[in-house]
Amino acid sequence: MIQVTKSLTRTLALVGKELLEVVRRPGAMISLVLGPFLILAVFGLGYGGGRVALRTVVVVPPDAALPTDPAAYEAFQARGLRVTEVSANEVVARQRLANGAVDIVVVVPHDARASLEAGEQADLRILMNLTDPVMANYAGFLADTLAAEVNRELYRRAAEEGRGYAISVGGRALENIPPEVIASPVRAAPENIAPTRPAILPFFGLAALALVLQHMAVSLVALSVVRERRSGAMDLFRIAPVRATELVVGKVLAYGLLGALVAGISAFLLVGVLGVPMLGSPGLVAAVVGLLLLASLGLGLLISVISDSERQAVQLSLLVLLASMFFSGFVLRIAEFTTPVQVGANLLPVTHGIGLLQDLLLRGTIVQGWQVAALAVIAGVLLVTSWGLLRREMRPA
């Protein structure tokens, strides 16, 4: 009985010690409780709950005698499409689609009446440039919906004019036209001009790689600096003296090489084993990975400076991971959030890492060139800020 009492006393003492340690660090408690709540609150308030309408260009043949004002096509717009431009040049429209300036190109049939008179459906071509399998399926659904809206509008106008398909089509007897053509004079013909076929594994595999690289770099360097501060090694650096510049460069080189090794092995497995296409230059891919690691290491150093214990460093690293899962485009497109949330999302290194890696490997080129500059700026700002704070901390008393 005495042994049981002593064991219970020691156990309760350890419980009290752990609880007291948590209470003594209010910062850790706040980050533990308020951090996830704030992230979920921003997600709930910043997400619109639906997909943003895709920017659409309508290509009208020069001799089609159709309106060139985008507002005139409102009656044909299916939900999810927003006509922003009407063009007579399909080549220019394709180029804008390839550059990411628009999301969808709708090509009006050149001679729809001839197709109908021949007893054939007219093809309403829907061009897209998507490597995201989810968005590709969504765009295909919108294409079918748009074709249905066009058919409905054709029947409505024929009814208003008091003629049309009820008697004949272009002078051809109704009974000589196949029923499917009468029911749907226009059919959707989706065409994806992306160089690779949209698939789950390549698209989300590259996003997962960027997310893993950021989390690994952030957590490892943050724990390393906090551990050195708690063990007294930082005081030894101050006396030695070791400059803050040398400490930052040493940490970046050590964990940068480790991250590069992990990235190289992961890329080999993705491309060589899982069959993810590699259309871009390996040098450019390595440069993007290097910028992502630099920015992530800068973020980890910043977390280490503001953390007073390993526990808080781990909590902040996990909060960064949680925010990255929600707001980096890993699960939901950034465009579906409100503008303030989009601005915050673009401050995360992984946001640009995901977009750049997907573009380079699945398209062979960088569509949004500004993301390279943004990633470089984020890396520079975080590293310089962390260096300044560490320099002040390591200043001799």
- pTM confidence score: 0.81
What is the residue-averaged pLDDT of the chain? 79
Q: Cβ distance 125 to 189 under 8 Å?
A: yes
281: left (phi over 0), alpha (psi -120 to 50) or beta: beta
The candidate with the shortest Cα–Cα distance to 127, out of 194, 40, 34, is 194
Alpha-carbon gap, residue 349 to 42, rounded angstroms: 19
Q: What percent of the chain shows pLDDT beyond 70? A: 72
Report the pLDDT averaged over residues 252-266: 89
Alpha-carbon gap, residue 244 to 395, rounded angstroms: 9
Alpha-carbon gap, residue 284 to 365, rounded angstroms: 9
Q: Cβ distance 144 to 123 under 8 Å?
A: no
Residue 184 binned pLDDT confidence (cut-offs 50, 70, 90): low
| End-to-end Cα distance, the chain | 54
Residue 167 binned pLDDT confidence (cut-offs 50, 70, 90): very low
Report the pLDDT averaged over residues 237-253: 73
> What's residue 296's pLDDT?
93
Kindly tell me the burial class for residue 101, based on how many C-beta atoms sit within 10 Å of its own C-beta (0-12, 13-18, 19 or more). middle
Query: Which has more confidence, 239 or 387?
Result: 387
- CA distances 247 to 121, 214, 304, Å, are 70, 20, 13
Domain ranges of the chain: 54-192, 199-393
Alpha-carbon gap, residue 81 to 126, rounded angstroms: 12
> What's residue 207's pLDDT?
92
Q: Cβ distance 124 to 76 under 8 Å?
A: no
Alpha-carbon gap, residue 388 to 81, rounded angstroms: 48
Other C-beta atoms closer than 10 Å to the C-beta of 90 total 16
Q: List, for residues 93-109, the tens digit of each pLDDT value.
A: 888 888 888 888 888 78
Residue 86 binned pLDDT confidence (cut-offs 50, 70, 90): confident
| Residues 6 or more apart in contact with residue 309 via CB below 8 angstroms | 25, 28, 226, 230
Tokens of 199: 């698939």
Q: List, for residues 326-338, the tens digit of each pLDDT value.
A: 888 888 888 888 8
Alpha helices in 104-192 (DSSP H): 112-117, 133-161, 179-183
Comparing 24-38, 42-56, 113-127, 167-181, the range with the smallest average pLDDT is 167-181
CA within 13 Å, CB half, 285: 24
Helix (H) or strand (E) holding 124, with range, is: strand 122-128
Domain made up of 54-192: CATH architecture: 3-Layer(aba) Sandwich (3.40)
Peptide bond into 241 cis (omega under 30): yes
Residues 120-152: b if buried by 16+ CB within 10 A, e if exposed: bbbbbbbbbbbbbbbbbebbbebbebbbebbbe
> What's residue 376's pLDDT?
94
Alpha-carbon gap, residue 169 to 179, rounded angstroms: 13
Identify the three-state secondary structure at position 370.
Answer: helix
Comparing 31-35, 50-54, 83-87, the range with the smallest average pLDDT is 31-35
Q: List, for residues 297-332, the tens digit of each pLDDT value.
A: 999 989 888 887 777 888 888 888 888 988 888 888
